[in-house]
Structure 1
Amino acid sequence: MRAAVVRTFGGPEAVEIAEVAAPEPGAGQVRIKVAAGALNPVDLAVRAGLFGGAGKTIGLGWDVAGTVDAVGVAAAWQVGDEVVALVPGVADPLGAHAEYVVVAADAVAKAPVTVDAVHAGTLPLNGLTAVQALDLLELEPGASLLVTGAAGAVGGFAVQLAARRGLVVTGHARAADEELVRSFGAAHFTAEGVEPGSVDAVLDAAMLGAPALEWVRDGGVFLSTHPGRQPGSVRGVRITAVEVSADGARLAELVGLVDEGALSLRVAETFALQDASKAHARLAEGGLRGRLVLVP
């Protein structure tokens, strides 16, 4: 089968489409015939070597939508099930950007029935990151939350999910994105920032760091979506970061919200798997509203 891999770190040209053996599911695993999977900034970071793994063949891709085509012992899925899953890992020989991928059965959820596989393939990584981040914030209904990068993939999901939890959300993004961010459920919008110490919490999806920390009240909470890059604590602010993990049950909840029309999935453009390097180059250019999706 074909898979997008890197053997040497570098720019988009480092992405190779390799012929590799199709993986076989072990106990408690399923194999998915991939229909689509989003390209995310983490893939660019893996390609550039920010997570290490020099000298290895490393597979790319964390998001998958497709069809179960083989199951291991004690895997509670059936061949033919249409599913989505998170394929976590930054130094594995195979990722989701391939024709087939093997994942733990408990990382899998039924695919949404209201959208196609291309859109479904944008949900797992960014949706789980957003919901797990909100869980870590531990905010009660009525609390004020500012989301940076609110027009982006993680930020957009976070705004929608936070508003459903009864949080008073301020979206931070470029001025041109105000209508979009408000459509996600943000009660307030800013392109500049807010008064220092004026919100209970910040979910920093745009990696603003210390400047965004200043917006949190004394004793509030600041969460980064990039572990290891969060600022140090000041004024009693709790500092934390989300490190996304596969969770099929939680992913199924997100799928339910998609099918209810309560969570929107955005696709900017699709690329054939063989054009993965072109997709990497496009993502690096920035300015996208929605995910790039690779289709085998």
Structure 2
Amino acid sequence: MRAAVVTEFGGPEAVRVVDAAAPEPGARQVRIKVVAAALNPVDAGVRAGVFGGAGARIGLGWDVAGTVDAVGVASAWNVGDEVVALVYGTAKPLGTHAEYVVVDADAVAKAPGSVDAVHAATLPLNALTAAQALDLLGLRPGQSLLVTGAAGAVGGYAVQLAAHQGFAVTGLARAGDEELVRSLGASDFVTDGVAGGFDAVLDTAVLGEPALAWVRDEGAYAGVIPQAQPASVRGVRTAAVEVGADGARLAELAQLLDEGVLSTRVAEVFALDDVVKAHARLAEGGVRGRLVLVP
């Protein structure tokens, strides 16, 4: 099978499509024939060497939408099931940017029925990150939340989920994104924060200490870069999400997508063989929605 990997770090040109043996599922695993897989900023970080691993072949891709084509023992999934999944890891030998990927069975969820695989592939990493980050904040309905980077992929899901959970959501983004952010469910929109103005901040834009200043005393802050949250001040709880594969939670998010609570955004679709072009487009910035690869 073909798979996108890096063997040395660098820019988009460091990504190579290689021939690799199709992986075989072990116990409590399934193999998915990939129909679509999103390209995320974490893939660019892996490619650039942000997470280390020099000298090894590292597979790219965390999100997958596709069809189960082989199952290991003790798996509740069946060949032919249409599924989505998160394949966690910054140093895995093969990722989802491939023709086939093996996934732990408990990381898999039934694919949403309301969208095609290209759109479904944008759900796992970004929506799970948003949902698990909101969990860290521990907000109650009616409390105020500022989402930075509200027009981005994680931020957009965070706005939708937070509004659905009954929080008073303010989205922070560039002025030109106000209509989009409000359409996602934000009741207010700002292009800059307000000192001490919110019960909590979900900092998907990775602003750090400036965003911490916008939390009220003894409020809460959550970041999206593991272990990179700013130090606590004024009694503010600070944490950062490290997304975890969770098939049951992913199934809930897929159901919310089918119910219209969540919406997906695809910016552009690339063939797997054009993965270098996709990385180059991501590096240009200004992408609204996710780039998606199809084998």
Q: TM-score range by the shorter chain?
A: over 0.9
> Hey, what does 1:46 align to over in structure 2?
46
**Residue matched to 2:157:** 157
Partner residue in 1 for 2:228: 229
Q: Which residue of 2 aligns with 1:208?
A: 207
Q: Paired residue for 1:184?
A: 184
CA displacement 1:197-239 (0-9 Å, x = unmatched): 1100000000011111100001011110011322111111111
Does 1:86 pair with 2:82? no
**Corresponding residue SS for 1:234:** coil
Q: What is the match of residue 133 of structure 1?
A: 133
- Does structure 1 conserve the Cα–Cα contact (< 8 Å) formed by 2:227 and 2:239? no
Q: Percent of pairs identical after alignment?
A: 75
1:94-130, Cα deviation, whole Å (9 max, x unpaired): 0000000000000000001110000000000001000
1:38 aligns to what SS in structure 2? Answer: strand
Matches within 5 A, 1:61-100: 61-100=61-100
Tell me the residue number matched to 1:142: 142
Which runs of 5 or more residues in structure 1 are unaligned?
Answer: none
| 3-state SS, counterpart of residue 106 of structure 1 | helix
Question: Deviation above 6 Å: which 4+ runs of structure 1?
Answer: none
Query: 1:261 offset after TM fit, Å?
Result: 1.2
Partner SS state of residue 94, structure 2? coil
- Alpha-carbon separation, structure 1, partners of 2:75 and 2:69: 12
Name the Cα RMSD after superposition: 0.6
Q: Does 1:36 align with 2:54?
A: no
| Cα distance in 1 for residues equivalent to 2:240 and 2:129 | 10
1:64-104 deviation line (CA, Å, top 9, x unaligned): 00000000000000000000000101001000000000000
Q: Compare 222-231 and 233-242 and name the one that shifted more.
A: 222-231
SS of 2:277's equivalent? helix
Normalised TM-score (structure 2):
0.99
> In structure 1, what residue type is equivalent to 2:249?
R
Counterpart amino acid of residue 217 in structure 2: D
- Give SS of 1:36's match: strand
Name the CA distance, whole Å, in 1 between partners of 2:261 and 2:236.
31
Q: Which residue of 2 aligns with 1:261?
A: 260
Give the match for residue 240 of structure 2.
241
Amino acid at match of 1:251: L
Are residues 1:6 and 2:3 paired? no
Q: Aligned AA for 1:222?
A: Y
Distance of 1:34 and 1:285 partners within structure 2 = 26
Q: Deviations over 1:150-197 (max 9, x none)?
A: 000000000000001110000000000001000111011001222x11
Q: Does 2:111 align with 1:111? A: yes
Q: Which amino acid aligns with 1:134?
A: L
CA distance in 2 between partners of 1:204 and 1:192 (Å) = 13
TM-score (structure 1 length as normaliser) = 0.99
Partner AA of 2:204 in structure 1: A
CA shift, 1:278, in A, is: 0.8
- Say which SS state the counterpart of residue 24 (structure 1) adopts: coil
SS in 2 for 1:23: coil
SS at match of 1:61: coil
Counterpart of 1:174, as a letter, is R
Q: Is the 8 A contact 2:69 2:80 kept in 1?
A: yes
SS in 1 for 2:274: helix
Amino acid corresponding to residue 190 of structure 1 in structure 2:
V
**What residue is the counterpart of 2:287 in the other structure?**
288
Q: How many residues end up aligned between the 2 structures?
A: 295
Alignment map for 1:160-175 (pairs within 5 Å): 160-175=160-175
Q: For residues 228 and 208 of structure 1, what CA distance do their matches in structure 2 show?
A: 14
Structure 2 equivalent of residue 17 of structure 1: 17
Structure 2 stretches of 5 or more lacking a match? Answer: none
